[in-house]
Structure formats: structure tokens, C-alpha cells
Structure 1
């Protein structure tokens, strides 16, 4: 066992104070200035909150909820709850009232922190349905709202000795957190992760993270998601400064100001960065436009294996980088050593082009039930485009006879809270049955094929794997979202959300005479549908005839979390989508 695997999560901040005492631990923008907080000041606040929690009657094993965007107070509360033996239940701010009610009652939440008045009002209105909730505090100050300063004031009568006594009783086998996964079906399930689970993942990830102490990390994905949360613990373990992006709209600005060395992103964020770059390039005129698109085509042919790149290609790549591609890297701050992406598949074309532009993308794979990182591409253990890399050190991965990915090691969860049936379904003889289908490439790199439950058979008995078709189709600049349907039908069809901006430009450039139409009329226009069908036919040749998309239905508005069609980690809720677009489904299959 690694010497650091006996640590508890809240020890990470104390360890950081010992090794990197002068490090700006967290950095936020206040009044237009980036301002850091040292580990010592951070820990003083953590202790104040712990005292307040004890004064409010929170004991070892009690569940405390936190609903907030990323901010330094989030991390303070996280450590404050854990160091007195409490169990942290961090929840997404954008879920339904039904889900809040289910989670609060399932976990018997005793005390809850929220960040703002909107969340406070929502939770307060639900209080009659949340019998275990004794306290609700807002982090931001408002009139007539219970502010968390009340909790801190109440804790002044508690001694530091009391905190130390509580901390001494916490072992790394104890439950540290419940993370409720926003499943694509049914009620959320509470994943039980111990200190040891998450610390083991942090220690395993460190080997694959090519960074040095005092480097800068940018965070903008929700910290209540296991992926971003474990990465933040990793940054603390490695002695990095964590910078909070002001908002998703300001990431571009913040990248230039902070010049981060690492950031995490989901594929949709990276795709939007790529789309923005492509849109800017398409507005160039004449020779500049031709040069831009030539450089992109060179980038799309990039391979990590130097032996596969001819002398002529390398010459062209050097020119493409010098004239076009290096500006992409500079646009992201110019100092990135790693962008880690996970939670869904990313288009291979984008990975190749970004790597050609020397933007270091590391695609990885994991799931909340595995704390969450299982495998990641890295230059130490190997990297292969189109895969999620080799498994982490100390993590065993094998494939079942049907290709299901099975995971074994200290990172595997204790089980689902209050749900022995669901636990028994996925934990067998110490192995976690992930529900994902994979294959080995070159004997060592894991490639994700699809979710086991999302694969389906046509009426002809042929298997269709939606995810790989969807990822390939979304490489078209004219397709924003693509959802494969057709279980039990004669052929696969799809719901398509068009890329309105790119189609508008295409119609103007080609004098189609439809760019004056309203948004609704434009999306429904036959020329638009024909253009999308041409794109699908062009891409269909990559698939067997039984997998090829035969008919589509256009969905004019982008699927979103708010409208209930995506999970908070941007996965399709296929049952919800099928239910909502029944009429369009009938159009496809009559």
C-alpha cells in the first residue's frame, strides 16, 4: 500500500500547509483582481465551520448537504464536515424539486448550506417534505435569510481540542461522502465513497499528471461531480493553486488572465471551443480563409506515432503550426500542460487537431462508483488517440465475455446507500460491473464502445451501438446534437439538433435564399433537412449497412439539463427524449 493511502481527505490541506506553506491555495476574482487565500487562512476558516457544525449538533456519520457553484466556501465546508466525521452530500444546483426531496430524505440530511437566495427559497419551500432537515443556511448575505455566519458565531464556544478529538476518531475506511448519481432512469443512487477510495484515486492519478508544485489549475466544472472533485483533491495533494473561473461565459477571458497549466473539461465544452475557433476561421476572407482550412485539414491527419508521419507531412505541420495552429494554443493562455477530458466520448477529429496545435488533451475514463478515474492517456504510461489510455497504477481492469468493463481496487465504492439490491447488481466478488462496453487496443489501451444498456437490436436482430454513431455524426459542422433511436425497429433513425449558425452561414455563402427566414422556419426548411441528410449519408459509409441512419427527425432546440433531457454530466436521458419527441419518432417509423 502506498504510504499516503492512510490519509483522510481533510489531511490533504494540512499536508499542503506543511510542504507548501506559502502557496496561494485558492484564487478567486474579487473587484476585478485575482486574489489568493493561503492554506493557513483556509484551515482557520475550516476549523470555524467545524465548530459551528458541532454546536448545531452534527455528529460523526451525520449527513450535511451543500448546494453551491464552485467557490472557496465550497471547499471549506467540504473539509469542515469531513474532519468531524460527518458525511458530505454535495448536490447539483440544477436538479428538480423531486430529486432534492428524494436525496434529502434518502440520506436523512440534517443540515444544509446553499449559496444563494434562489436555492434557499426553493429548499425552504420544500421543508415540510424534508422531515430530517433541522438547519438551512445561505452563504451569501440577504435580509430575512438565515446566514451561515449564525452557525460560525454559535461555534465560538467550541474548543479546538474538541475538533482534534473528533478528527482523531475518523479512519480512512470511514464514509467521507455520498454522491448521488443523476442516472438516466429512475431515482438518483447515493454512491458511498470512503476517504480511502478517493485518496487511492488521487495517489494513482498523480503519477499520470505532468505538473509541478505551484502550477496553476483552472476549475469550472461543478465540484459536486466526482470527476472535478477528485481532481481538486489531486491539485491540493500536488501543491497547485486552484483558480475559480468567474463563470462559463468568462472561461475564454479567464484563460488569458490566469494562463493555467491544467484544466478539466467535458467534451461538449471542448467541442464549443473548437466550434468557436472554426466559426472565426470561416469569417476570414480570400487567401487567409484557404490557409486556415488547409491548416485544420493538416491537423485532422495528426498522429502521436511519429513513425506514421511522413517527412512531407511534418514539413506541412510545421508551417500550419507557425501560421495558424500555435495561435489556438496561445488563445488558451499559452501555458497549458494538460486538458483532461472525460464523462463522455470526444470526437477523434478534435483530439487530433488540438494535439497538432500542441494543445495537450488527455482523454480519460471513469465513473462515480470508482472515485471516479479508472484510466487516462498520459505520456508516462502511453497515449493513443481514440482510446481512454491504460488503467491507472494499482487499478485492475478486465473485460467480461460480453465486453463489459470490470474494475477492481481500492477506488471501488462501498456500495449504494440504502440500496442493497442495486449494490448487488454492480458489485460482485470485489469487482465493479461498470455497465460500459470496452475493448483493448494494442493490448493495453482501453477503448469505450458504449453503455451496455444503450446498445439495442433492430427487428432483424442486429446490434446497434448508438454512442460511436453519434460521436461520428457530430463531427459534421452542421450537426449540434445527434440521438440514435430505433430499438426493435427495421432500421436505426435519429433525432438531430442542427447547428443553426453554421447552416445559416452555409445558406448565405451558397445563395440558398433562406437566411431571411425566422429561426423556426429556417430549421423546418426542406433545404436544411436535405443538407443534414447529405452530411449523414456522407458519414454513414463508416458503418455497416444495418447501422446506417436511414431517416431523421429535426429537433429545433438544443437538448439541455434545464429542460430535463440531459443529466448534469450532459448524458442523454434517452427515455425522457423518446417520451418528449414521440411525434417525431412516429414520423421516422410511421
Structure 2
């Protein structure tokens, strides 16, 4: 239980702050591509020197406007070049970035800005600004887009436009002296960002991250992967979230890569594949749900298969939830390594990585990165120490006290174990429930077993608190159900259902097989419902990183769950049908 897992590789030196890291890269990689995004249909690329000069432009604007070191700046925008410039300049000047998901409702944005008042607001457009009440809008606002509805007389904010701040002719030699002179001496211990958690179980908490937290992680990744400058990345992961905003974005910047925005947002597959064909990323970061969608398309579309598995693709990275072996085996067959990481927003976010190898062990997330130590605490909760761990939550000392042990270990809330292959994740502690006989059930384990067994399952929710056995809601992979032909050698024994009734019958057999493989009889699923819907981010059923939000699923599908718990399966909604598993 007290076994510590520590990286054998020392962390080594890294830049003291984000501004210094950017200065070094702009100096070193000047004419290399740093960023790309679509403009009028085609990708436009920005060089490192242009990026650095634009950071200087925005930093000079902040200085002229009287924005002081330590003040807070909120970003309510999508991923784009102007936002990247502004956010890097803000942190380089010693100010604190507060990235917020642009698709949140106006009411929820208001709550977050009330909780964490800001001194400057960078927002997508006037339409988005109009949805906010005057009392949360700071004295100055920067709009990334011109035009739109007037904000009216109720707001007294001074509006500036990004196009007026950045020089149109910035792809000239990097202004190194100006960059150095305009940016203050920021300490590694100074706050760089307050990043809100996903809020799957409660109101989001503001994670306070320093320059040292962020850069220590990037130094560790560079030591492990030794990525060469100029590598291309295709990015849809939102920057308000730790996976996209901390892990992917900063790794591309730290390693001297080119970060290209994927305007598919991980939702519109045709656009994603079009962007993939144009950029041909060397390294790709995504979450299991999107990998599932990608693999589905490659199985039914030969052209899509060729687009994605191009010759320059070095490896793909997955996190946020386990990637089933059904999906990872397809990458293995294509000779593309899948690297899996584990961590939380509070750990900047990565704590462990699996090796760059074609072989994967389900549920195992690898060994600690350099500088990080891991051990098991009470009830096998995973504890972490390292330079990547946050100092605490913003304006929430009670929550901060709860997540640290007396000797300074961070309590992750994940239940797991330490194996010869590294750390193994079992479940989130808060998802565990007890049956009526007192047995503990970790639903994540059952859910992953089901998705591994059947590629036709897109999502599955397992519940059953206080019941005799667990039960499940299954959400089908509509694309596979509707496909004319599915080419996958691993599916030779699959019935390949084409209709919902066929899928329900097929799932009954799959669930019976899962139950037979599980020697814990109390974990056997005895009742399940197939729901002809897809879980949606817009309804709050998925987080921005596309993980399930159990409490919202329980609310939105209460009628189905009530039928399962009361064994009244005749009163189901028309979009739901019983999966005939049979009695234990």
C-alpha cells in the first residue's frame, strides 16, 4: 500500500516562465511554422517570428492600457490565432489567464465570472458579450471579431478590437530586444492560469497553476519523447480544458512544433478528415470517443482510412478516459503506437505515460513522468507529488484542504493499483456505489469491458445503487449500424447488426459473455436498456473532453432508469427497448 513509484529520470532544468520559453523558441525557430488556421477556406500559417512579434504587440497594448502584473484576464473564445497570441502575452506579462468554455450558457458564464471577477475580458464577438450582464463585464473588453449587435448602454466597458492591436506586417525578423524589455521577470512560482475543472459532480473548481507547474510537465514530455522541431499537430481539443489547453497546446509550443486548428471541433467528421489530409499531423491528440468515431469511419470508408493513417503519422495520444483494446488494436494493425496518459487539471495535467510502443495493457496508464512520484493511499486512492501539482483552488480553502494529505500528497480521487506495467486505473472514487448487500461496484470497469466486447456500443452507463445487481443504459454506434459494410478482421465473430432490434439481441449475447468472464457475480448486469439516442455535449451529458457526466445522464434518462430500478420495463419511452439478457 505504501509503495512509491518514482520516475528514474531526473527532470532537469527548464525555462523559469512561459515568456522565457517563448522567447527562446521565437529566437531559435524564427522562420519555421508555428501556427495554422483556415482563412477563406485555406490554411494560413504563421511563423515563429511572426508569433513572437504579435505577442510583443499585445504585451505593449497591455502595458499601455495599465494592466498590471498579477491581474486576471478571462478568455471566452474558441481556439484561434488571435486568442493564442493574447493568452501567451497575458501570461508572459505576469498576468493570470482564466480560460472559459465559449459554449457555456450565458447564465453559467455569469456564475463563473461572478466567482472569479476579472480585470480584462477577451471574448469572441459582440453577440457573446451581449449575453453577459453588465456587473460581470470588466472596464475593458477585447473583441476578436468585428461587427455584430450593439452591447447597448447598460455596459460601460471600453471595447478594443484585436485587429487594431496586432501589426499586419509581423513576419519580419523577431524583435528580441523588444520582447525582453517589455516582459517582466516572472517567477516560476507566480500564477499563470486559473483553469476550471469540468464540474462532473459539482460547481467547477478554479485550479491555480503556476508557470513552474506548466513548464515542468513540458520539460518532462520533451525528455521522454525527444520531439524534433517542426512537427505538425492538428488541434480541436478546447483550450479552456487541461488536455487541450495545457497538454497539447503547450507541448506543441514547447517543442517548436506547428499547431494547426481543426475547425471540426471533433464533431464534424468529414471536416476533421479534410483537415487531417491537409495538415498530415505527425502527432495527434484526442479522446476515446473521437477515436471511436474516427475508427468507425476508417472501417467503412477506404479513402478515410488512407487520409488518417498516412505515412508521416508517428503516434497518437489518448487521455480523459480509457481507450478500449477494440480501438487500440486497429492502430496496432496499422503500426501506429497509441500513447496513453493519466492525470487531472490539478496536476497540469499529466502524471503518467505509457511507452511509445505498439503493445498496450488495458487500464494501465504507465509510469510517472520525470519529477513526479505516485503512491496509494487509503482505499487505494492514487496520491501524487511533484512540481506539476497545483498550489490549491481559487477562493476555496476548504476544498484545497480536502485534497491534500498532511504531508503534502495530492489526493486524485482515482482508485487504482501499482503493477509491473505501471499505474492501473480502476475507477473514479465518486462513481463507486454499493449494492443492497453492501458490495462495492466500480461501474467504469464494467463499462470499459462492455465497450471492448462490442464496437457497436458508443456509450454505456452502469448504475444500480441499492439494487441486487447493476443495470445499464446502452447508447449505440449509429454510424456502424447504418453502414453497408464494416471491414475489421477482429469482428469475424460479430453478428454486425443493422437494426436496433438486431442490436438489442446481439447485445444480450455480448453482455452474457461479459458476465461469464467476470468472476464477481454481484457485478453481473442482469437488466439493460438500449436507448436510440446519442449522448450530447449540448445537453450537458458529456464534458468538453467528451467524458460522461453521470448526474446529468441520471436526470435526462430518469424514466429509463426508473423502469430498470422498478423492474417495470413495459413503460419505456418509444426510443428505448429492453435488452433480453435473461435471468442469472
- Report the TM range for the smaller structure's normalisation: 0.7 to 0.9
Aligned to 1:12: 21
SS at 1:201 equivalent: helix
Aligned to 2:539: 563
1:588 aligns with 2:564: yes
Which of 213, 235, 241 is residue 219 of structure 1 equivalent to? 235
> How far apart, in 1, do the equivalents of 2:222 and 2:390 lie?
20
> How far apart, in 2, do the equivalents of 1:385 and 1:261 lie?
25
Aligned to 1:535: 510
Q: Please give the residue correspondences for 1:276-295 in structure 2 after superposition, counting only pairs within 5 Å.
A: 276-280=297-301
Aligned to 1:313: none
SS at 1:388 equivalent: strand
1:188 aligns with 2:194: no
Contact 1:141 1:147 in 2 (8 A): no
> How far apart, in 2, do the equivalents of 1:205 and 1:399 lie?
24
1:274 aligns with 2:283: no
Q: Deviations over 1:308-366 (max 9, x none)?
A: xxxxxxxxxxxxxxxx9xx9476333211121110111102221231121122101111
1:464 aligns with 2:441: yes
TM-score by length of 1: 0.82
TM-score by length of 2: 0.83
Q: Deviations over 1:530-583 (max 9, x none)?
A: 333233223322322111111113332211110111221222221222122222
Q: Please give the residue correspondences for 1:56-67 in structure 2 after superposition, counting only pairs within 5 Å.
A: 56-67=65-76
Q: Deviations over 1:502-530 (max 9, x none)?
A: 3456999xxx9x98xxxxxx75x5x5533
Deviation at 1:494, TM superposition (A): 0.9
Contact 1:208 1:380 in 2 (8 A): no
Deviation at 1:191, TM superposition (A): 0.2
Deviation at 1:409, TM superposition (A): 0.7
Which of 238, 260, 278 is residue 255 of structure 2 equivalent to? 238
> How far apart, in 2, do the equivalents of 1:581 and 1:384 lie?
33
Aligned to 2:139: 134
Aligned to 1:492: 470
Aligned to 1:549: 525
Q: Deviations over 1:256-307 (max 9, x none)?
A: 22221111011111111111123348xxxxxxxxxxxxxxxxxxxxxxxxxx
In structure 2, relative to structure 1, the CA distance for the partners of 1:162 and 1:273 (3 Å cut) is closer
Deviation at 1:253, TM superposition (A): 1.7
Contact 2:435 2:467 in 1 (8 A): yes
> How far apart, in 1, do the equivalents of 2:515 and 2:132 lie?
49
Deviation at 1:461, TM superposition (A): 1.3
Deviation at 1:23, TM superposition (A): 1.2
> How far apart, in 1, do the equivalents of 2:101 and 2:78 lie?
8
In structure 1, stretches of 5+ residues that fail to align are 282-323, 516-521
Contact 1:440 1:446 in 2 (8 A): yes
Deviation at 1:491, TM superposition (A): 1.0
In structure 2, stretches of 5+ residues that fail to align are 1-9, 151-158, 168-174, 487-494, 567-584
* Paired residue total: 525
In structure 2, relative to structure 1, the CA distance for the partners of 1:276 and 1:240 (3 Å cut) is same
SS at 1:434 equivalent: strand
SS at 1:176 equivalent: strand
In structure 2, relative to structure 1, the CA distance for the partners of 1:149 and 1:245 (3 Å cut) is closer
Q: Deviations over 1:376-435 (max 9, x none)?
A: 112499965541111101110111141111110100001000000000111222211000
> How far apart, in 1, do the equivalents of 2:416 and 2:504 lie?
34
> How far apart, in 1, do the equivalents of 2:411 and 2:101 lie?
25
In structure 2, relative to structure 1, the CA distance for the partners of 1:419 and 1:452 (3 Å cut) is same
> How far apart, in 1, do the equivalents of 2:232 and 2:166 lie?
34
> How far apart, in 1, do the equivalents of 2:146 and 2:343 lie?
37
Aligned to 1:408: 385
Contact 1:127 1:133 in 2 (8 A): no
Aligned to 1:482: 460
Aligned to 2:7: none
Which of 6, 27, 39 is residue 36 of structure 2 equivalent to? 27
> How far apart, in 2, do the equivalents of 1:87 and 1:35 lie?
29
In structure 2, relative to structure 1, the CA distance for the partners of 1:576 and 1:94 (3 Å cut) is same
> How far apart, in 1, do the equivalents of 2:306 and 2:198 lie?
34
SS at 2:30 equivalent: coil
> How far apart, in 2, do the equivalents of 1:6 and 1:113 lie?
27
1:432 aligns with 2:410: yes
Contact 2:36 2:43 in 1 (8 A): yes
In structure 2, relative to structure 1, the CA distance for the partners of 1:143 and 1:507 (3 Å cut) is closer
Deviation at 1:210, TM superposition (A): 4.7
> How far apart, in 2, do the equivalents of 1:562 and 1:214 lie?
36
SS at 2:132 equivalent: helix
1:121 aligns with 2:127: yes
Out of 426-435 and 538-547, give the one that drifted further.
538-547
Q: Please give the residue correspondences for 1:499-510 in structure 2 after superposition, counting only pairs within 5 Å.
A: 499-504=477-482
Q: Deviations over 1:12-34 (max 9, x none)?
A: 22111222222111122334443
> How far apart, in 1, do the equivalents of 2:181 and 2:31 lie?
28
Contact 1:111 1:134 in 2 (8 A): yes
> How far apart, in 1, do the equivalents of 2:442 and 2:476 lie?
22
In structure 2, relative to structure 1, the CA distance for the partners of 1:240 and 1:33 (3 Å cut) is same
SS at 1:191 equivalent: strand
Aligned to 2:279: 258
Which of 201, 207, 215 is residue 223 of structure 2 equivalent to? 207
RMSD over equivalenced CA pairs, Å? 3.0
> How far apart, in 2, do the equivalents of 1:333 and 1:232 lie?
22
Deviation at 1:80, TM superposition (A): 1.3
